[in-house]
Amino acid sequence: MKLKELKIKNFRNYSEANLLLSPSINIFIGDNGVGKTNILEAIYVLSLTKSARYGTDTDLIKLGENNLSIEGIVDYDDYQKEYKINIDKFSKRVYRNNIQIKKISEYLSEFCITSFLPNDIEIIKGSPSLRRNTLNIEIGILYNQYLDYVNEYNRLLKMRNEYLKRLNLNGYSDSKYLDVINLKMIDLSVKIYKFRFNYLEEINNILPSIYKKLTGISNIKILYDCSLGIKEYDEELIKDTMLKKYKSNLYKEMLQGMTITGLHRDDLIFLVNNNDAKIYASQGQQRLIVIAYKIAELLVFKKIKKEYPILLLDDVFSEIDIKKRNNIVKYLKSDIQVIITTTDLEDIQEDLVKSAKIFKIKNGEIKIKGGAKCKKKK
Ligand SMILES: Nc1ncnc2c1ncn2[C@@H]1O[C@H](COP(=O)(O)OP(=O)(O)OP(=O)(O)O)[C@@H](O)[C@H]1O
Ligand SMILES: [Mg+2]
């Protein structure tokens, strides 16, 4: 899949921009604060219906305006599709070929991206919930039923927690309702764990060779830190452990009004040379681990979906030495559509620049280098 055309209106600092993208390398260059990341963010939002940055949907609307729209024409092998997202102060609407989408989980698995954004270093440094969200998105774009399972689990979790609070207030009496919720949550957990363990196995199969090509180190692994203490997927063990935990934790959970074990409490640990990268890796190393992880994500996607997602790279080459930059570039094959931002073309390998379509952002305008100016009202 290739994003052929992108049209944005009232998005962040853009009033209007219409862009024709190259099916291979695209580079957006400009000084700090001109709106480079905003272009990648628009593509991200069109693909995943939410931004990766902090803030709400309405923060995406250009200041002083009431609504935004992002439209994309995507080329597949022998057909095209048009995607559109409209956000105003009260609602968000998503369309495929002008028909409104009701079920977002189905939409997410169509026009897919893999992105490296500066905040992604938080995948290592940040909170467990951020790592769970990342994992959920990655698996969700591969298998749409996965997100349905996760959404249903979260709905039941909320109900369970509310019921636990009520039991604590009213005194423990009838457990039948809780038993029903428990069984449903166990059933969903088995399904979700299967996806998570399988996905991480795919990633762990290729991550060492990628990290070795980038850095020379091959001892890297992502550990699934399961709050149930389970090391690998085992249906019976998951069921058994969850039943036992629900039983033994009941009074504690009633007091706290929340479910203290389960997949909503799990985490990922990035191990390099058997050490936790969150604690031991330098800033540059953490960046490289995340880049290797993103390349692994891209390759797993290709293996499963038989095509590459669109790759968004925000200022990926800064803070990385030249040798390692060149090693990253080796993964940017000609059949991957890549959209890169930079403040300085010198940060990007010459061969890549030569084969790229280059967009210059200056004084609120996007111009194609050596070509015509893109339409953009001030
Ligand atoms: N809702 C909004 N309305 C108008 N302008 C906005 C809005 N949100 C952000 N901006 C502006 O967008 C600009 C930032 O754009 P962006 O993050 O894309 O910059 P950048 O080119 O990536 O910069 P850097 O090189 O520092 O990463 C800022 O000038 C900011 O004030
Ligand atoms: Mg930026």
Q: What is the predicted pLDDT for the residue at 376? A: 44
Please tell me the number of the ligand nearest to residue 59's CA. 1
> What is the identity of the amino acid at 195?
F
The CATH code of the domain that includes 195 is 1.20.1050.90
SS (H, E, C) the chain: CEEEEEEEEEECCEEEEEEECCCCEEEEECCCCCCHHHHHHHHHHHHHCCCCCCCCHHHHECCCCCEEEEEEEEECCCCEEEEEEEEECCCEEEEECCEECCCHHHHHCCCCEEEECHHHHHHHHCCHHHHHHHHHHHHHHHCHHHHHHHHHHHHHHHHHHHHHHHHHHHCCCCCHHHHHHHHHHHHHHHHHHHHHHHHHHHHHHHHHHHHHHHHCCCCEEEEEECCCCCCCCCHHHHHHHHHHHHHHCHHHHHHHCCCCCCHHHCEEEEEECCEEHHHHCCHHHHHHHHHHHHHHHHHHHHHHHCCCCEEEEECCCCCCCHHHHHHHHCCCCCCCCEEEEECCHHHCCHHHHHCCEEEEEECCEEEECCCCECCCCC
Q: Are residues 273 and 164 in the same domain?
A: yes
Q: Which of 306, 326, 344 is the last residue of a domain?
A: 306
33 lines ligand 1 (CB under 6 A): yes
36 lines ligand 1 (CB under 6 A): yes
User: How many distinct structural domains can be found in the chain?
Assistant: 2
Q: Are residues 376 and 350 in the same domain?
A: yes
Q: Are residues 346 and 297 in the same domain?
A: no
Start-to-end Cα distance in the chain: 32
Q: Are residues 323 and 367 in the same domain?
A: yes
Residues of the chain with confidence (pLDDT) below 70: 172-173, 370-378
Q: Are residues 295 and 176 in the same domain?
A: yes
372 inside domain: yes
Counting ligand 1 atoms within 8 A of each CB, the residue from 9, 13, 343, 361 with the most, and so the one to mutate, is 13
108 inside domain: yes
Q: What is the predicted pLDDT for the residue at 318? A: 84
The CATH code of the domain that includes 94 is 3.40.50.300
53 inside domain: yes
318 lines ligand 1 (CB under 6 A): no
- CA of 315 from ligand 2 middle (Å) equals 7
Q: Considering the entire predicted model, what is its pTM?
A: 0.94
72 lines ligand 1 (CB under 6 A): no
Q: What is the predicted pLDDT for the residue at 370? A: 59
Range of the structural domain that residue 333 is part of: 1-112+309-378
- CA of 368 from ligand 2 middle (Å) equals 19
Q: Are residues 60 and 188 in the same domain?
A: no
- CA of 260 from ligand 1 middle (Å) equals 40
Please tell me the number of the ligand nearest to residue 35's CA. 1
119 inside domain: no
105 inside domain: yes
Q: Are residues 133 and 108 in the same domain?
A: no
Q: Are residues 174 and 301 in the same domain?
A: yes
63 lines ligand 1 (CB under 6 A): yes
Q: Are residues 230 and 295 in the same domain?
A: yes
Q: How far apart are CA 162 and CA 201, in angstroms?
A: 35
221 inside domain: yes
Tokens linked to 53: 């940055």
- CA of 350 from ligand 1 middle (Å) equals 27
Q: Which of 286, 306, 326 is the last residue of a domain?
A: 306
Q: What is the predicted pLDDT for the residue at 375? A: 47
Q: Are residues 206 and 71 in the same domain?
A: no
* CA-closest residue to ligand 1 atom 12: 13
58 lines ligand 1 (CB under 6 A): no
Q: Are residues 69 and 83 in the same domain?
A: yes
* CA-closest residue to ligand 1 atom 16: 35
Q: Which of 306, 332, 367 is the last residue of a domain?
A: 306
- CA of 41 from ligand 2 middle (Å) equals 10
157 lines ligand 1 (CB under 6 A): no
* CA-closest residue to ligand 1 atom 7: 12
118 inside domain: no
Measured at the CA of 263, the angle between CA 257 and CA 265, to 5 degrees, comes to 55
C-alpha distances out from residue 209 to 212, 219, 333, Å: 5, 9, 17
287 inside domain: yes
Q: Are residues 96 and 21 in the same domain?
A: yes
37 lines ligand 1 (CB under 6 A): yes
Q: What is the predicted pLDDT for the residue at 54? A: 84
